[in-house]
Structure 1
Amino acid sequence: MTLKICVAQLNYCVGDMPGNAQKIIDAARAAYADGARLLVTPELAICGYAAEDLFLRASFIEACDDAVNRVARELAGLKGLTVIVGTPTHGNTGRGDEAAGGLRTKSMAVQQRHNAARVLREGEVIATYAKRELPNYQVFDERRYFTPGQGICVFEAGEGESAVRVGLLICEDAWFEEPARLTKEAGAELLVVINASPFHVGKGNEREVMMQNRVRATGLPLIYAHLVGGQDEIVFEGRSFALQADATLAGRAPGFKENMFQAQVERAQAAIKIIATTEPERGDDAELWDALVLGVRDYLGKNGFPGAILGLSGGIDSALVLALAVDALGADKVRTVMMPSPYTADISWIDAREMAHRLQVRYDEISIVPEFDAFKASLAGEFKGLPEDTTEENIQARIRGVFLMALSNKFGSIVLTTGNKSEMATGYCTLYGDMAGGFAVIKDLLKT
């Protein structure tokens, strides 16, 4: 009388449908061998999140369809296994049914796209659910890409006495009362919510509170499957979880790492109980560190950069970015450069060398004095009679930016900038100088 469920909290790559499909296939086979009969993947797992304007390409949606069909084919032999795959879908709704003798022509069709999920079992798609509530705030722009769904999705997972009627929701659907209420009215005994919800400090607890509200409103236990990984400027932290029917926490997966989160659904008379393990919370500072490390690792890894390079100043910002880069990539993939000028204090040299030594990264010193003197000489006529000020200090910053970008172009490593949010907000940073680079690691952290 037990249904074992596995959440494939995995790091899916945008646009790599074959690779994402293989991840799901491998996860399903491993989960099945371990006794699971329902595998749940996060929102849009087959294509990665967020694919942005790729969603507007018919060929992209077709490639997603092909990948889902491949998952269905390759798992067809796993008897009794149900797999939920997050994927975009397309379909046509007709206009002008009376025209052409009641036949609908291709030119009369309106192409629709949905943020959806396919429910697979033994080689077949047994159900498709389209997300009803489309977010259009912060980083979300789903109304640009998708049409809201209208239906509900309830299906049976497991066999015999262990079978459970599962109601499926996608992310924002669970923030509203109606989708879950309608799903319960259709006979659901368990809510499964698949998600891709970007991280900010405290977001994990916010999600759990919102889902507790949904559980209290419906009286149904809930399993929340969440994406993990970095994509451009956003990070998904995982932390999938399960709630009992009384809204207490049944279990939680670790954050910021891939995990096959397992939950056992047991039926005792009419009641359903979930048994799972709970990963302890790490605190806001630890989660923030994990998010930054994951963001750096995935930006470089998914875009194919061989490593990172950054300029060391001896200050706390470059020290922080260096430590994050080493945690994310390993010391062997991080290079540091100190570029002294006439304004460089001795303590800057000392601290920069100490940082590099402690973290065992490559460290080079390249003087920019000749270039700085050349700039001053070229501008001497224009600046005649004027005192030195931030103009000259900004010139040194811009020389450093040119040097770092030259090293990046020559060797392929990406330049990590070291400016924080307070500096960006107040303009206390140099255009084409310390803002030059390919990835701004701490641009969303206040100086404090």
Structure 2
Amino acid sequence: MPSLAESGGRVDGRVDGGEGSGELSAPRLRPGTPERAGLDPGELDCLVREFRRLTDGDQPWAAGAVLVAGRGPVIAVEEAAGWAVRYRAYDEETDTGVELPRGERVPATTRTPFDLASLTKLFTSVAAVQQLERGTLGIDARVGAYLPGFTAAEHGITVRHLLTHTSGLPPELPLYDCPDDRARFALLRAGKPVTAPGRAYGYSDLNMLLLQQVLERITRRPLDVLVRDGITRPLGMTATGFGPCPDAAATEDQRRPWAKADRGMLRGTVHDENAWALGGVAGHAGLFSTAGDLAVFCRTLLAGGSYGTARILGPDHVALLLSPPGLGFALDRPWFMGALAGGGAAGHTGFTGTSLVLDPSTDTFLVLLANTVHPRRRPPDSVPRAAAATRLARAVRAVRRA
């Protein structure tokens, strides 16, 4: 897939009978100068310099990374740095990565796909809101109406609880330790909340796994098909899909005790152990994508659900998705949104090093994809994410002051 700069911001997708086909088109992304985007060039120069340093040194923040940032329909920054594949393995005795010879490494480019990890949740959430718009799903309907026999149904968990992470369910279940699909399904079916539903926020992968079950039950289609037909194909996001993705950036030399499975160095198969155990298609993880494709996703939501002649949601339902407390999307989180937080910014992060932020108040977006878990997972560090978002916020403010 060509980069946005190479393609002029165009994509090859066509409307595939999506709801609202034939309505007025929304501007597509195009490359342009900071001035054309209404952003301060000095702040963006600083953003690019700081971004390039993230992959420098013997123990960088990430082996490789890609950055796309813009305002309105204009891409003002599109950069790649470092390596999509740098290490052969992780040496636990020296706590260092075993580097490949330079000629065998794979450089990161603007077209490099990354394992999105929990950014997958955003696509599951959009797929759910599409069903809300069509009237096939009720936001305050109890999960038991769609999934009889699930323990969650006995506790009054609703679709809204799942989308807002207020179900009370634990963060995860060890599906990766189950011997077969039947045992995995039985464990998921038996999952019960640890706190009363609706009482407090508690981030849980199980919310999106149950939501996946609901969506597949009411549509009679698997999640990968719902995402493809309802989101990525209409928007021309041809580099986005569930794995395997052989050209993706490498992730982890996944071994116990630091991981939950012994799988070796991973490239092109999902990093998340539960998503892997479920065959690579899961509501909480499993998608691979490029920064350019995710910029299209951000632009679509900022434009009220339309991109070109495609419409994946109506404006009212985009507003529902992005209004407090957010349906699947995190809102105004300074720890990774920096100074973009505070005005209704929405986004998410992924364990592998991925993140995106879109800010309706300034019509800006920032996508930062990285393989921070290559060659081994480390304690999460979102300081670079927040710093990049703050640079973008300053780029808007500097223009406003001028």
TM-score of the pair, normalised by structure 2: 0.24
Question: Max radius of gyration: which structure?
Answer: 1
Which one scores higher on RCO, CA 8 angstroms, separation ≥ 6? 2
Q: Which has the higher strand share?
A: 1
TM-score of the pair, normalised by structure 1: 0.22
